[in-house]
Amino acid sequence: MAQYRAFSSTAEVLGQSVLAIVGGMENNRVRALELLAEQGLTPMEPHRWYAQQPVLDVFRNIFERIGPSTVRAIGRKVPEWAVFPRTAPGAIEEALQALQVAYETNHRNGDIGHYRFERTGPRSGRMVCVNPYPCDFDLGLVEAVAEKSRPLHSLRVRVEHAPGDCRKRGDEACAYAVSW
């Protein structure tokens, strides 16, 4: 199960979540709308459901034509655009665990994949992402959620790709080490 290939032909994404592509490309919104239009995803309506595969095709085009840093920037914008559960300030573990709830709220129909957070130490954990989105997207998403919810006593949060599997190589999952 590599990135850019929907797990189910019936999987759908909420338009509000897809609009994070425009948010992540804030310096080039016109290009973002062009890329969405190429896949028949315009006009984008926040409360409408869209097939997941064309959305993944947009991500592939962004990665190939613009680069991984833009894909990562889009991931960082998702918490601002998509429907996300509220968590208490400083509750980093709760926020990272809530990623699964957010994913299920913004996706439906068929196998959509999942996010799973596991604690690895007093101030560290591991986020395992099994979904068809690009690795760079999930890195940005996990960074944004972790930074937004970091405990007050932590000066910063660190998120990095953990050794091992990577969807860029065609593996089923990517894992990210999170420390705070």
d(CA 86, CA 89): 9
Which pLDDT belongs to residue 1?
A: 56
Helices marked H in 68-161: 68-81, 92-106, 135-148
What confidence tens digit (pLDDT) does each residue in 48-101 have? Answer: 999 999 999 999 999 999 999 999 999 999 998 888 888 877 799 999 999 999
d(CA 68, CA 135): 9
pTM of the model: 0.93
